[in-house]
Amino acid sequence: MTERAGAQTSDATPAGPARTVVAKIGSSSVTAAGGGVDGAAIERLSADIAQVRAAGHSVVLVSSGAIAAGWAALSGGPRPTDPATLQAVSAVGQHRLMRVYDDAFATHGVSVGQVLLAPLDFVHRQQYLHARQTLSRLIELGVLPVVNENDATSDDEIRFGDNDRLAALVAHLVAADLLVLLTDTAGLLTADPRTTDEASLIEEVVEVDHRLEMMAGGAGSEIGSGGMASKLAAAKIAAWSGVETVIADAARPGVVQAAVAGEPGIGTVFRPRPRRLPARKLWIAFAVASAGTLMVDEGARRAVVEGDASLLPAGVISVTGRFDSEAAVEIVGPDGIVFAKGLVRHPAERIGSWAGRRTSDLPEGVAHEIVHRDDLVVLA
């Protein structure tokens, strides 16, 4: 049995013209049962991607597995959890993972290039442009970029957290047409298949809502850092980027080719939104953790949502949380529903003291906006 979320059954999308595809494979799908890199899984994936490239499409691969590979090389056993050890283990495993990819793709005449990205590459304009230029040039040279987070040097406070989110941001970076998230299930299911036989595949999602997010649950395995919840979050990011997403089974032969061809039942397809967010606003909306909440009155909500205005102190009712300037906060209306997110220009204590005051009553010589419209994203 299959179901739809918010749409009726549609015909398969033909292969059509050349497309740019970002494919992401998780740790659980590239890790062997006894630990270390699963060479057979990577050989299967490399053959699949090589066929997609041979059909004229461009591909960027986002791959997890460095920590799993590194820990297996060092000792195996229970996976460590402290950040310092995980970062060190990543440094051991990353080149081992790339060696397997290099050998597997070489049999198909495909050269690979390693690209390690950090969150700041998506925040700062120049770093964003450099990252995009590097990936674009690799593709132009006929090289397959293999992307991972730079775990060895990432600040634990500022990191992607899982490669599903990274893959969605990379899809935005390269203006991809399709994001394929490969996992160990057939796609988004109506229930957890580990606990019930009644789980069925949801073939199409038009909009990611709270019900679907609740259905996705938590992390799926001890090996990976993601799970279906992180894939749903990535699909939501991609949708706001104007990118279609497919969540599908990594073990299925030819899965990437089938996703590109729009084969029915290949997995769960998430349709993109017509409006594409700029990279920085995408980062603010989905990649930066919220440090607090600002409740505003109905007039301020309308000004932000309908008038594309900055948030001023006069519209603020209350402040929740302790945070400094430049922190990300959620903005809620009088009903408590989040409708926007942004970076504040002042710390929580100052915002609290300014709440409800008109601009003419505030000190001169400082920015009066609480959240400037350039740093604000309307979510609803």
Q: Is residue 26 part of a domain?
A: yes
Q: Are 262 and 143 members of one domain?
A: yes
Q: How many C-beta atoms lie closer than 10 Å to residue 92's C-beta?
A: 17
> Which pLDDT value is given to residue 157?
42
Residue that terminates a domain, selected from 277, 312, 342: 277
Question: For residue 283, is it within any domain?
Answer: no
Q: Could you tell me if residue 181 is inside a domain? A: yes
Mean pLDDT for the chain overall = 87
- The verdict on 272 and 293 lying in the same domain is no
The end-to-end CA distance of the chain, in Å, is 32
**Within a domain: 183:** yes
pLDDT band at 227 (very low <50, low <70, confident <90, very high): confident
Q: Is residue 284 domain-resident?
A: no
Domain end among 277, 307, 335: 277
Mark which of 246, 277, 308 sits at the end of a domain.
277
Q: Is position 282 within any domain?
A: no
Q: Is residue 142, in this structure, part of any structural domain at all?
A: yes
| Total tally of structural domains belonging to the chain | 2
Residues 192, 171: one domain?
yes
Quick check: 61 and 27 in contact, CB under 8 A? no
Q: Residue 168 above 80 pLDDT?
A: yes
Write the pLDDT tens digit of every residue in 134-162.
999 999 999 999 999 886 665 544 345 57
Contact status, residue 323 vs residue 291, Cβ threshold 8 Å: yes
Structural domain span for residue 116: 2-277
CA dihedral 233, 30, 43, 87 (to 10 degrees): 90
CATH code assigned at 182: 3.40.1160.10
Same-domain check for residues 321 and 220: no
Digit-coded pLDDT (tens) for 70-106: 988 887 677 788 888 888 888 999 999 999 999 999 9
Q: Among 90, 92, 166, 88, which residue's Cα sits nearest to residue 122? A: 166
The three-class DSSP label of residue 246 is strand
